[in-house]
Every structure is written in C-alpha cells, then in structure tokens.
C-alpha cells in the first residue's frame, strides 16, 4: 500500500464528511483532504473524534475563504478593510483546521482585484505572514501553510501567481519558515523539469489530477468534469516521476471526481488507489514502495 496517498473531500461532493471517512477507510486510502465548507458550523468535537478514530491523516485543509484576494475577478475592487476582514476570517479557519493536524493548510493568492501588481504582492506577503504566524502559535511543531499557484492560463483572468517560481518568490519575501508550496499537477501540468528539480524540496504536498475535456476553466466556473485520473496515470505520471527523482517523498492527494454515492465512491476510491499505486510503483519506485 502507498501510505502517503489521500483523496480530497472535494472529490466526493455528494457525501458528508462522516461518509467520506467511512468510504476512505473501506477503500484503504491513507488520507483525506478536508474542505472547511463541508464541516458546517458548530463545534467539531464529534467530527474530530470520528476523524481520529478513523486513523486517516489529514492531507490538505482548505479554508472556506481559500484565497487572500477574493475570486471575483481582476477588476473587482476590494478595500483594505475588506481584505483585513477576509484575512481575519482565514486566520480563524487556520485555528479551526489546526485541530485536524493537516499536512498543510492550502491557500491561493487570488486575482489582482483592481490593485497594482506591487500593491497585490505586498498585501499577499502580509497575508502569508499573518496566516503563518497564526499557525505557528497553535501547533507544537512547525505547522505548514501551503501556497498553491494556479494554471498559467489563469493569468488572462488576472491571477499573477501562476508558477512554482512565482509562488516561491512570494514565500521568500514573506520570510516565514512554515510557508511552503503546494503543487497541483492539474494547474502545473506543463511545469519544466528544471523548475521541479530546483523547487521540489520546498513542496509540502502534491495534488494529482490530469486535465480532462477542454481548456483550463476560468476561476469560479464548473471544473469537476475537467479533472480526471486515467488508469495509466495520465498526463501527471511523468510529473510525478520527475518529483520522485528530484527527491519528493511527501503526501499525494487526488483531486478528481471519484463517486456520487457511498457505494459507488468506495469502489471508485479503491480503483483510484490501485491506479496511483501501480503507476507510482512502475514509474518512480520499481524497486522501492510495494502494495
């Protein structure tokens, strides 16, 4: 079994969080990516108890507000006061999600929202520092914030951070040791091998999915049908091989639709785990990891 393989809760949108846990355990998947919006409101004591009883590891944890700037569009103005309120809510989410002890809390920058590039960068750096310092205060060991760059095609929709290198520059400017990179193979499908080799040691989590039908979707539009995972590992297989060869040994998380009901999800999850296990073993670790 590939121990460090999880499934994002977003892959199971028709199931409750409690159902997610049950089907993932039944399918012998090791981790779950938690979406705060699926947790609902109110105390999490019962959910936490069931989560820890499951033995699953929380891979990513996504705040309800997952981007520092709102995903409204490049020219939709947002005030300093609104940004401050947004960051406050994101910090509250960090405090909530820390209880699940995820590998990383995943965030994005968002689009420009009417700001100059210099203003945007300064405010994103400020936001990363706030989130990182909130996480540091809550955890007995370095608690990671993962910054995820989006697809290069999203630059046309006002998203400035569309590469691992661009995200790494902002992380360097923030200067917080617990901010690292999340690499999504859907977004970074065409990332250069040289860039992977240079930045792999800064990657805290890899999300896997290949691009399905059509071009990358604009921010805010339906996307589920555009993510997939083929039996041979699809387009992301070579990227995973490059990551392994560059030294990555962390968690992988599948973010692609896998089932519409508990019964169909269990069989689909088991199949997804087998696909990942087989192509991972064949491509990157033929003499290492075993089922």
Predicted confidence (pLDDT) per residue in 233-267, tens digit: 566 778 888 998 899 999 999 888 776 566 677 77
Lowest mean pLDDT among 61-65, 74-78, 83-87, 147-151: 74-78
Evaluate if residue 277 carries a pLDDT over 80.
Answer: no
| 236 occurs within a structural domain | yes
| 289 occurs within a structural domain | no
| 128 occurs within a structural domain | yes
Which tokens in the block code for residue 248? Answer: 């990555």
Q: What phi and psi, each to the nearest 5 degrees, are found at residue 231?
A: -65, -25
pLDDT for the residue numbered 227: 65
pTM: 0.89
Q: How many domains does the chain have?
A: 1
**Burial class (CB within 10 angstroms; exposed 0-12, middle 13-18, buried 19+) of 30:** buried
Pairing of strands 5-8, 251-254: parallel
| 64 occurs within a structural domain | yes
In degrees, to the nearest 5, what angle opens at C-alpha 57 toward C-alphas 145 and 100?
60
| 277 occurs within a structural domain | yes
Q: For residue 107, what are the domain limits? A: 5-284
| 196 occurs within a structural domain | yes
| 291 occurs within a structural domain | no
Beta strands in 79-233 (DSSP E): 104-107, 145-147, 179-184, 203-208, 210-211, 227-228
Which tokens in the block code for residue 142? Answer: 């370095």
CA distance 238 to 228: 15
CB atoms within 10 A of CB 284: 17
| 290 occurs within a structural domain | no
For position 99, which CATH number holds? 3.20.20.150
Angle between helices 117-138 and 80-97 (to 10 degrees): 30
pLDDT for the residue numbered 181: 98
Predicted confidence (pLDDT) per residue in 66-76, tens digit: 999 998 765 67
């Amino acid at each position: 079994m590939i121990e460090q393989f999880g499934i994002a809760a977003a892959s199971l949108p028709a199931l409750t969080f409690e159902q997610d846990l049950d089907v993932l355990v039944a399918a012998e998947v090791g981790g779950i990516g938690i979406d705060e919006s699926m947790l609902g409101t109110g105390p999490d004591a019962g959910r936490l108890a069931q989560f820890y009883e499951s033995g699953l590891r929380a891979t990513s944890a996504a705040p309800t507000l997952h981007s520092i700037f709102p995903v409204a569009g490049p020219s939709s103005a947002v005030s300093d006061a609104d940004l401050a309120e947004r960051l406050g809510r994101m910090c509250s989410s960090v405090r909530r999600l820390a209880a699940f002890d995820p590998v990383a809390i995943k965030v994005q920058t968002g689009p420009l929202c009417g700001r100059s590039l210099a203003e945007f960068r300064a405010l994103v750096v400020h936001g990363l520092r706030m989130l990182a310092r909130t996480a540091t205060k809550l955890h007995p060991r370095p608690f990671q914030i993962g910054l995820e760059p989006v697809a290069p095609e999203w630059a046309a929709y006002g998203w400035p951070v569309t590469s691992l290198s661009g995200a790494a520059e902002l992380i360097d400017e923030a200067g917080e040791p617990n901010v690292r990179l999340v690499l999504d193979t859907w977004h970074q499908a065409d990332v250069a091998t040289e860039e992977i080799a240079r930045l792999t040691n800064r990657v805290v989590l890899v999300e896997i999915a290949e691009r399905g039908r059509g071009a990358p979707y604009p921010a805010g539009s339906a996307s589920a049908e555009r993510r997939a995972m083929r039996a041979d590992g699809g387009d992301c297989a070579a990227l995973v091989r490059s990551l392994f060869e560059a030294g990555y040994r962390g968690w992988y998380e599948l973010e692609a639709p896998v089932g519409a009901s508990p019964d169909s999800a269990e069989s689909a999850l088991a199949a997804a785990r087998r696909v990942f296990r087989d192509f991972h073993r064949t491509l990157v670790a033929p003499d290492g990891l075993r089922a």
